[in-house]
A = this chain, B = another copy of it.
Amino acid sequence: MNIEDYLAEKKKLVDEALRKYFSDNNPFFEVMYYSIDRGKRIRPILAIASYEANGGTKLDEILSVACGLELIHTYSLIHDDLPAMDNDDYRRGKESAHKKFGEALAVLSGDGLFAYAFELFTESETNLKQRFRVIKEVSEAVGPKGVVYGQVLDIQKHEEANPKTLRQIHLNKTAKFISLSIKVGAIMASAPDEIIKVLEKGGIYLGILFQYTDDILDVTGKKEKLGKTPRKDIFQEKLTAPRVYGLSGAKFRAQRYAALAKNTFHRLGPNFELFNEITDYVLNRTF
C-alpha cells in the first residue's frame, strides 16, 4: 500500500470514531464537533501507526486514545485562532469557531474538547497502566512545559530573529506533541523503553520538520489548499523559519530534519519503515 492510501485508510477510521464520540443529544457537542470536522488527523494517525508497528492489535483501544489527541489538537487551534491570539477567521476550510459561534462559545468549546479528551483516555480499564502513563505524558507535552508554553512564546513580539527562540517555539508548540503522538502508540502497545526512546527522538525531528513545512507553507501555500489563511505569520511578524533562515535556508534545514528523523527511525528496523515514508510525506506536503 502506498503512503497516501495508508494515511487515507487510517484517517477514515479516526473520522468514524470521532463521529461516534460526538453523537450526543446535547447541542453543545455539535458546536464542538464543528471544529473537529475536517482535520488532517496527523496526530491520531501517528499514534495508530506506532501502535501497529509495535505489535498492537486492539484497534478500539488505540482509537480512543488517538482521538483524544485530535481533540486536544483541535482545542489548541480554536484558542489559537481567537481574536486576542492569532485572530484567524478561517480554519480547516471554513469559518473558525469564534467567527461561527462567537468568542465565548469558542473558548468554551476548546475547554470542553480538552476535558473530553481525558474522558476518552479513561474510556476503558483494559491497559489501565498504559493509559495512566499516556495521561501523564499527554498532560506534560500539551501543558505549560509544552504546547501551551510554545503558544506563550509564539504570541510574544520578537524584535530579533533569534534561532534559539525559534527552536524553543518549534519544539514546544509542535514537536513535543508530534513526538508524544508516536510515543503514545508505543506505550499503548507496551513497547520496551529502548524503542520508545528512539521513537520519541525521531518524533521530535519529525515534529520540527512538520513546523518547518508549516512555516514554509505560510509563505508559499494557497488558502484553498491549506484551509487556513496564509501570509499571516509575515503580517503578524511571527518568528518563523523563513524569517530566521530565509525561504531557501528554511527549505534546506527542513530536508536536514527529515534526514535526521529518517536516520533515527531507520535504527528500529523494517517494522518502522512506514515512519520514513511519513517523514518524506511531511517534507513534501502542500497542505
Residues of B near A144 (CB, < 8 A) are 26, 28-29, 32, 112-113, 115-116
Is A122 interfacial (CB-CB < 8 Å)?
A: yes
Q: Which of A76-126 contact B (CB under 8 A)?
A: 76, 79, 82, 84-85, 102-105, 107-108, 110-119, 121-122, 125
A149 near B114 (CB under 8 angstroms)?
no
Q: Which of A103-161 contact B (CB under 8 A)?
A: 103-105, 107-108, 110-119, 121-122, 125, 128-129, 131-132, 135-136, 138-140, 142-146, 148-149, 151-152, 155
B139 near A115 (CB under 8 angstroms)?
yes
What's the Cα separation between A136 and B135 when bound, in Å? 11
Chain B: minimal CB distance from A37 (Å): 16
Asked if A132 meets B143 with Cβ closer than 8 Å, knowing A104-B155, A108-B148, the reply is: no
Chain B: minimal CB distance from A193 (Å): 15
A132 near B128 (CB under 8 angstroms)?
yes
Residues of B near A85 (CB, < 8 A) are 104, 107
What's the Cα separation between A112 and B144 when bound, in Å? 5
Chain B: minimal CB distance from A166 (Å): 18
Which size bracket describes the interface of A in this complex? 35 or more
What's the Cα separation between A112 and B242 when bound, in Å? 29
Asked if A111 meets B148 with Cβ closer than 8 Å, knowing A122-B139, A132-B131, A143-B116, the reply is: yes
A104 near B118 (CB under 8 angstroms)?
no
The contact string, 1 if C-beta is below 8 Å from chain B, for chain A 42-73, is 00000000000000000000000000000000
What's the Cα separation between A110 and B112 when bound, in Å? 13
What's the Cα separation between A131 and B152 when bound, in Å? 30
Residues of B near A125 (CB, < 8 A) are 132
What's the Cα separation between A28 and B119 when bound, in Å? 27
The closest CB in chain B to the CB of A144 belongs to: B112
What's the Cα separation between A108 and B125 when bound, in Å? 31
Residues of B near A29 (CB, < 8 A) are 144
The closest CB in chain B to the CB of A75 belongs to: B111
What's the Cα separation between A29 and B114 when bound, in Å? 20
The closest CB in chain B to the CB of A118 belongs to: B139
Sample (15) of A-B pairs whose CB atoms are under 8 Å apart: A26-B145, A79-B108, A82-B103, A104-B155, A108-B151, A112-B143, A112-B144, A115-B146, A116-B143, A117-B139, A118-B143, A121-B135, A122-B135, A128-B132, A135-B135
A79-B111, A122-B139, A128-B132 provided; 10 other pairs, C-beta below 8 A? A82-B103, A84-B107, A112-B144, A114-B143, A115-B144, A116-B139, A116-B144, A118-B136, A119-B140, A122-B136
